[in-house]
Structure 1
């Protein structure tokens, strides 16, 4: 296979200024891989970056996620087409392998990396956001500290790219420490919420309850493992869940909507000594009555970030064929239509669930 000299790539030039450009295909260094990008999912964080969100994952000194000259995209599936023996051995891949790639590129030197908490790396360089070009291009470099994983090449590329959000969802479920006796409520049946439903169902708790205002998404939640679905627009979910649990409330609540109202909802429907897990990208600050967390219920409130140590299981689930991925991965666009893809993700009332950029389209 002959690699062309130039390629199409989306390039950031500032908030709401992403341009499709013809640029040189990068040449991998001896410790890097070159992949042909086959699909890149569009995430809510991509949308937040596009609009110029303040702060960069807790770093108060960075006023924008946008990095001029960088190609966005971190939910990546592609085929290895070039790499030195050193790079191939280091990443445990071979030319021709289909891979998916963790979004964090850890420094391996900070306290977090040294203690094994690589997903919380201090510099926090990530594919498609700052130091490393992402997958909204025809080709991209896999840097030496990146963490690729091989996935079956028979999986459609946009399905394979779902490994990234699914691994994130599985991490949120892991944070919840589910038991067989738990009633688990998952707010939101978008990509992350559906992934959390999938992960929770695989843990076999007593009951998995999905919440969403879209009944079509709730039907899909059932296919992903939800035992019960509730539409907050049609039923008082706090009252209903307390009714179902003898007046106590749910054991675990995993928030996957990114809507401020879902936070208070979760605190209120949990039982005393319950567990709240937050996995969302919020567009605004959220205020709650913290006395519910402390004096009223003594809740465990946990955050979740990225998908550490969950990628092998996410890939196994995707490869198993048990998921309705055609219904989850709803919209695919070519590089020429990146603005349409971003707008599709922004349309919360639309029919999309997982939107992807497929360079071959």
Structure 2
């Protein structure tokens, strides 16, 4: 079946110019490529921070521009195969698939030693013109895309969480949770909730979740948190110290992207504790590094993307071990992208907001 020549797409031309195009060219399928018809695409905090001009995307006096405009945003997407290149044998028309955000080169040092998610060129869907994202009717998967099959009967509201929950899983895996650990997860948005439901599978001694919104804390309890606290209403550092005989939590996972959450974590984590930083920040964060070194000798670990996580996440969303109910709160037509971006900010209490095609 011949594809149309043009499609509807949201296009970022600069940090000050995002436009809905109705006649954007449909991607061409090369001999090693796959073209999918997009089924849906979630809006990530990274998409929002890029839209609002964060320097880590658009550059500033201390860092170069990372994005490559014009590009189509969106990396939390899935769809069905509508065209394959001559060299593609594993996938066929109609297959339902998704892919990791990273498009590894397959040649650099990191790709060769298995750390493909840290690929040196670091091309990703949704931020560069040669790897356009899912806020469009059609998307091209190149040869090196890390593709996973999506079950035919998986509800769209669940399938949309494969990519964010993959990121959640990697962050929790970095924390190396043991059964006698007191774990604090700061932030119970979509990614935080993914961490909560997966961390619950690790069965820590206590799973504590922090958020400024009480409705999100209720969802965290539903997903497996033992204790929830609102830093805007109570002294969460003192409470955590009181709960741990003054020592502090064993593990702190930061999933808010707010500088105050970093300082909060350094105050409530015990000596020799493990601090996992997941978030994308919209501004620089300053902390007293003597806490990390001289005072507490902490392990500070970063978490990036979702390497090797999709198969586990897909299986455990499907069997119900990873809870998803109520996380996708709104789906929009791409025509209403400005309203969707506004709700995706969480200002009105929404969690995951997505476009449905």
Q: Which residue pairs with 2:306 in the alignment? A: 307
Aligned to 1:26: 27
Give 4+ residue runs of structure 1 displaced > 6 Å after superposition.
Answer: 57-62
Measure the CA separation in 1 of the matches of 2:186 and 2:59.
Answer: 24
Match of 1:218 in 2: 217
1:188-216 CA-to-partner distances (Å, cap 9, x unmatched) read 00011111112211111111111011111
1:139-174 Cα offsets, whole Å, 9 max, x none, are 111111111100112223343121111111110011
Residue 79 to residue 60, structure 1, CA distance change in 2 (3 Å): farther
Q: Are 2:36 and 1:35 aligned?
A: yes
- How many Å separate the matches in 2 of 1:324 and 1:301? 28
> Do the aligned partners of residues 319 and 25 (structure 1) sit closer, same or farther apart at CA in structure 2, a change above 3 Å counting?
same
Shift of 1:67: 2.9
Give, in angstroms, the shift of residue 27 of structure 1.
2.8
> Is 1:42–1:356's contact at 8 Å kept on the other side of the alignment?
yes
Which residue of 351, 354, 360 corresponds with 2:352? 354
Q: Is it true that 1:53 corresponds to 2:54 in the alignment?
A: yes
Alignment of 1:204-353 (within 5 A): 204-346=203-345, 348-353=346-351
Q: CA RMSD in A?
A: 1.9
Q: Residue 6 of structure 2 corresponds to which residue in structure 1?
A: 6
- Corresponding residue SS for 2:304: coil
CA distance in 2: counterparts of 1:61 and 1:293, whole angstroms: 25
* Paired positions, count: 355
Cα distance between partner residues in 2 of 1:294 and 1:312: 37
How far apart, in 2, do the equivalents of 1:73 and 1:357 lie?
A: 10
Secondary structure of the residue that 2:126 maps to in structure 1? coil
Aligned 8 A contact 2:247 2:270 in 1: yes
Q: Is 251-260 or 157-166 further displaced after alignment?
A: 157-166
Distance change >3 Å, CA 322–CA 199, structure 1 → 2: closer
Corresponding residue number in structure 1 for 2:78:
77
Per-residue CA deviations over 1:284-325 (Å, capped at 9, x if unaligned) read 101111111111111101111001111111111221235553
Paired position in structure 1 for 2:139? 140
* CA distance in structure 2 between the partners assigned to 1:251 and 1:58 by the alignment: 36
Q: Counterpart of 2:87 in 1: which secondary structure?
A: helix
Match of 1:128 among 126, 129, 133: 126
Structure 2 residue 187 is the aligned partner of structure 1 residue 195: no
* Structure 2 unaligned spans of 5+: none
- Return 5+ residue gaps in structure 1 as ranges: none
> What secondary structure sits across from 1:272 in the alignment?
strand
Provide TM-score, normalisation by structure 1.
0.93
* 1:110 equivalenced with 2:118 (yes/no): no
Q: CA deviation at 1:272?
A: 0.8
Structure 1 Cα separation of the partners of residues 268 and 308 of structure 2: 30
> Partner residue of 1:101?
99
Please give the secondary structure, in 2, of the residue aligned with 1:264: helix
After superposing the two structures, state which structure 1 stretch, 243-252 or 149-158, moved more.
149-158
TM-score, normalised by the number of residues in structure 2 = 0.94
Residue 339 to residue 63, structure 1, CA distance change in 2 (3 Å) = farther
- How far is the alpha carbon of 1:105 from its aligned partner? 0.4
Deviations 1:203-249 (A, max 9, x none): 11111111011111011011211111111122211111111112211
- The alpha-carbon distance between structure 1 residues 60 and 84, as it changes in their structure 2 partners (threshold 3 A), is farther
**How far apart, CA to CA, are the structure 2 residues paired with 1:137 and 1:11?**
9
